[in-house]
Structure 1
């Protein structure tokens, strides 16, 4: 009877250690995933800002081109 009880207690201790280890690893993986998501969101935000800036520059260059063409036409007319 004593051996069986010792084995059960030993098995329970082992089980608790394994569950504890799995829980720790799961928590670490979850924390890492949250950090990685934050990094990806920042990167995505930088890309969006860059795209917006490029779009604005493109629009500005279109306006500049139109103005230059208009000025050129005016000069040709003179």
Structure 2
């Protein structure tokens, strides 16, 4: 894994264990993904989806990246 992935995972784990609300961190990645691929939506709905059902939101993002050609087993470097 690359350093950026490890840092992001570490921050997520730290927030999860210290506050119990990692959704406030992960919703920013949803916004970033949405803006990068010009997907309709807004920051408010990104945060609401993560706060209400984070596992569902993370699965949606995973499927979207997989659909766009990312191989999650290869360091998340981009489409193959």
What's the TM-score, normalizing by structure 1? 0.25
Larger relative helix fraction: 1
What's the TM-score, normalizing by structure 2? 0.25
Q: Bigger radius of gyration, 1 or 2? A: 1
- If asked which structure has higher relative contact order (CA below 8 Å, sep 6+), I would say 2
